[in-house]
Structure 1
Amino acid sequence: MIKRALLSMALVLAGCDTVPLQDTPTRAQIADSTLPPMKSFSAPRPQVPSRSNANIAADFLALHFELESGRELPIMTRFENPITVRVTGAPPPSLQADLARLLSRLRNEAGIDIRQVGSGAANITIEAVGRSEIRRALPQAACFVVPNITSLADFRRERRREKTNWSLLSTRETLGIFLPNDATPQEVRDCLHEELAQAIGPLNDLYSLPESVFNDDNMHTVLTGYDMLILRATYAPELRSGMTRAQVARVLPDLLARLNPAGNGIGRQRVSRTPRSWIDAMQRALGPGAGLETRVRAANEATRIAQGQGWTDQRRAFSHYTLGRMIQMSDADLAQRHYATALKFLDQTPGTDLHKAHVRAQTAAYAISRGDGANALAQLRGPIEDVRRAENAALLATMMLLQAEALDLEGRGEEAAATRLDSLGWARYGFGSDWAVRALMRDVALLNPRNRLGG
């Protein structure tokens, strides 16, 4: 229900010398007025779920009958009538196009009767406000959704009353979503996907899900094929608000067989529950406000817990990836070993191509910092397409800029210049302002030893 403000996806420079930013040779000296326009993704390309229907049924129950705190919900709730959505506040320019695209996907992929209205009452009100206002309401939240509320002012008055308690709902009729209007276009879109999905569907997030936005690892930023299946099942005629966990469990095997027949042919995987101790350690490692030393201790603790659990899935990999990110400035070689361990577990876990892409961005950056352009290009080629499919513009722009530096190292200057220019439209969507795009370009350029040495 709350998208937490975790560490940003900024690229950490692997062992670079520090030089004044104004002296950094980026080879892309483009005036602000001539920066290419912001790019946007076209037709969605969601992948079919990789999990068995038996696993998806267990996921469905955990998603719908538990809150993120672990508190159990007595019944399932959903909207029982066509859903209307309206936007209030001061929405940023990018919001309307992203909302229209998302509503179209929900209608076409999940079969949900949902539409936007321009005025009057609506089932779901999306209010766009400043990030500072959201933090005053919920300090750890980047965006959030609340039942029986239509404005942030209402939430401040009613936040401790029964009407805002998810566990007391019998059905869903009115909800409020609060998004930042001063974040990057991608951050606003990411909040929109997660919060609208939870407004109409599951209330829980599970770290055990490798291919879903219903996961606090924030690897997926737009609704996946798996998520659309969960939402389609949520609004199937076999289910309704008020059903108990046992009642839903009896219906799910036949329901999923009808909606996802391929899932019956996939073997069930054994998935253990995620202990609260690991979740708490990850939140300390990734959450705001703590110093680096505290975050490193928390990441080490999460890695030890994951190993003790005997995990071999993306949770184990995420532990090592997070620790690698924390220590790569102080011990780049050890960080690379953690990345290698993460990739080992991801290679044996279906549905983790995007997770591997996040790791490859770090290992390719390290290769570039060592002057090994060929190695970096080999690492980036496939993952770039996985990131494009997943519609993560910030990561896509970063990886394309890395690719450009690797091409320069290989003496392919024209290709490098074209790739660098092509990345900027994605960077404007992913990172927002011109100064942020230019800072990204400078940071990536500094990885290249030739730039650091003034060559």
Structure 2
Amino acid sequence: MALALAACEEIPPASAPARPDPVAPQASPRPQPTEQSDASLRVSQYYARRQADLETRGLLRTDGGGPDTPYSPDKLAANFEKIVFYDEYSGGIGTRAGQSGQLRRWDGPVRIDVEFGASVPSQQRREDAADVARFAARLGRITGHPISRSQTGTNFHVLVMGEDDKDQLTTRLRELAPTMSDDTLAFFRAMPLSIECSVLAFSSGDNPHAYTRAIALIRAELPDLLRLSCIHEEIAQGLGPANDSPEARPSIFNDDDEFALLTSHDEFLLRMLYDPRMKVGMSAIEGEAAARIIARELMGQDL
């Protein structure tokens, strides 16, 4: 298996979920760590080799972009259209999408929490929880939208689970999304090694373009940088940017693995997405002019 395959995917549910209850499901009691199995150890070794290979090739950058990755306001606006108004997947698991849709994002507060499988060591739990909290606070500052880590009223669930946690994962997914299709559940239980993490975002029946809940799954066996990269990409994508584009640079919304963490370009995208001039449900054609205006404003250039 090639080590340069896409790392993260966003997989929508095969059918629209029922409107979620006003109160988020409560987490099951969190099991204590157990000994790692041989199968999980092999997965850990595979991803350690993958991360080393990517870093050797100068990928997984953490600098956020620099002089070698210039972009103009017009390029930023064009990338915004591709990433925000297009779906990477539609029509079920594994189906590529290519048609424009409507702008999606959260209208209400985003309350993020992280849950761990029994296989996850205590030290990793502490580190990942701190990383999620820091990133949530950063996203709140970037977007101006209420985004935070919260252990009450959680509506964005980050699940860090591994090969040894599949039964626990199945139980938790059925608690969080009772209408999840069997195909989607089976995908999460048996993600191929080419996929390191994934996110599902749900809307209510009242407004199919306004997200009200999200679930992200991150493999527990990932080494530190790949795991942090998944935290950045899946939480950011769960806020609304549903697509990846090979033309977006510097960006994590790109399958080339050049950047591991959210970049300056991506911060602009999220600011544009949550700008009040962008409306939930608007089309790419409706948003084109506003995107160009906002992009130029953000980059300090005249209209």
RMSD over equivalenced CA pairs, Å: 3.1
For 2:85 and 2:161, the matched residues in 1 are separated by 30
Q: How far apart are residue 171 of structure 1 and its match?
A: 1.3
**Structure 2: distance between partners of 1:66 and 1:2:** 19
Answer whether contact 2:137 2:149 (CA < 8 A) is retained: no
Higher strand fraction (1 or 2): 2
CA gap 1:9/1:127 in 2 versus in 1, 3 angstroms? closer
Q: What TM-score, normalized by structure 2, do the two folds share?
A: 0.63
In structure 2, the CA distance between the partners of 1:239 and 1:224, relative to structure 1 (3 Å rule), is: same
Counterpart AA for 1:86: D
| 1:143 matches 2:197 | yes
| Residue aligning to 1:230 | 269
Task: Please give the alpha-carbon distance, in whole angstroms, between the structure 1 residues aligned to 2:287 and 2:227.
Answer: 33
Which residue of 1 is the match for residue 140 of structure 2? Answer: 107
The alpha-carbon deviation at position 11 of structure 1 amounts to 4.9
The one-letter code of the counterpart of 1:76 is: L
Q: 1:282-325: CA deviations, max 9, x gaps? A: xxxxxxxxxxxxxxxxxxxxxxxxxxxxxxxxxxxxxxxxxxxx
Alignment of 1:127 onto 2:159: yes
Distance verdict in 2 for CA 1:131–1:188, change over 3 Å: farther
Structure possessing the higher relative contact order (Cα contacts under 8 Å, 6 or more residues apart): 2
More helix by share: 1
What's the CA shift for 1:2?
6.6
- Say if 1:126 and 1:179, in contact at 8 Å, map to a contact too: yes
1:375-390 equivalences under 5 Å are: none
Q: Which residue number corresponds to residue 256 of structure 1?
A: 295
3-state SS in 2 of match to 1:210: coil
CA deviations over 1:141-185 (Å, ceiling 9, x no partner):
211001239xxxxxxxxxxxxx9xxxx942111110011223222
Q: Is the 8 A contact 2:7 2:195 kept in 1?
A: yes
C-alpha separation in 1, matches of 2:281 and 2:7: 24
Q: 1:135 and 1:172 mapped to 2: Cα distance? A: 21
1:74 alignment partner, SS class: coil
Change beyond 3 A, Cα 1:87–1:122: same
Mark the structure with the bigger radius of gyration: 1
For 2:18, the equivalent position in structure 1 comes to: none
Is there any run of 5+ residues in structure 2 with no aligned partner, and where? Answer: 1-5, 10-45, 57-61, 89-95, 167-186
By how many angstroms is 1:45 displaced?
Answer: 6.5
Counterpart secondary structure, 1:84:
strand
Q: Structure 2: which amino acid aligns with 1:202? A: P
The aligned counterpart of 2:75 is 55
**In 1, are the aligned partners of 2:131 and 2:228 still within 8 Å (CA)?**
yes
Aligned to 2:212: 173
Amino acid at match of 1:77: R
In structure 1, the residue matched to 2:244 is 205
Equivalent residue, structure 1, for 2:97: 70
Partner-residue secondary structure (3-state), 1:87 = strand
Cα displacement (A) at 1:205: 0.8
Q: Is the 8 A contact 2:249 2:265 kept in 1?
A: no
* Closer, same or farther: CA 46–2 of 1 in aligned 2, 3 Å: closer
- State how many pairs are aligned: 216
Q: Is the 8 A contact 2:7 2:255 kept in 1?
A: no
- Structure 1 residue 84 displacement after superposition: 0.9
**TM alignment of 1:393-432, pairs within 5 A:** none
Post-superposition shift, 1:212? 0.3
Match of 1:80 in 2: 107
